[in-house]
Amino acid sequence: MFARLKSIDERIFDNIPRIYRPAISKIMVAASKLGNAGIIWWYVCAIFLIIPKWRYTGLVIIFSIGLTSLMGEGIIKHTVKRTRPCKQLDDDVKLINDPRAYYSFPSGHTASSFSVTMVIILSRCPVYVFAPLLLLSMTIGFSRVYLRVHYLTDVVVGLLLGIACGAASVMLFHAIVPQDIFFTP
């Protein structure tokens, strides 16, 4: 099974340049930069913390980002130690510089994106709030494959990790910190 997944990863990695277009490449670079250090998700969190009825969700987002980072960046990446696919590319074909982190599995950009999005969905935010964030999460995840800094399986596992950490954060936070003792709308 792992050999088959590796074969799929390699085929996608080799063929992704076929869809390169200047406009798409600019969008993918921008989307990827938004995910650097989870910067976009910290801005989203700040907005939630400012709005009184969503402060509790903002706190859950902070918890979720921390849990996702601990699991993905702190534990899984250093256990699996999968080398980034961009390490096999010449500098002249790369659309972005190599990421600082050497390991690629799972995608931290994707994990943090879906972790925050899952918290927002489970917190019953309106569709006009979570739908654009879900679209952004998907774009950030795809950008990592498009830019060839992650294999597809890195992104898929990052997505699953993010969903799991987001859901676990909501459940744990709600069990430990009752919403009504913190904020009243």
Per-residue pLDDT tens over the stretch 57-97? 999 999 999 999 999 989 998 898 887 877 675 555 556 56
**Structure tokens given for 141:** 């995840």
pLDDT, tens digit (0-9, with 9 covering 90-100), for 99-116: 666 788 899 999 999 999
Rounded Cα distance between 147 and 13, Å, is 9
Domain boundaries, the chain: 37-179
Q: Check: CB of residue 149 under 8 Å from CB of residue 85.
A: yes
Rounded Cα distance between 90 and 31, Å, is 23
What is the percent of the chain where pLDDT is above 70? 88
Q: What is the pTM of this model?
A: 0.87
Rounded Cα distance between 182 and 168, Å, is 20
Closest by CA to 132, choosing from 121, 144, 145, is 121
In angstroms, what CA-CA distances link 84 with 68, 102, 128?
A: 20, 6, 35
Rounded Cα distance between 9 and 54, Å, is 39
Going by pLDDT thresholds of 50, 70 and 90, the confidence category of residue 41 is very high
Please compute the mean of the pLDDT values over residues 40-56 and round it to a whole number. 91
Residue 160 confidence (pLDDT): 97
**Strand locations in the chain (E):** none
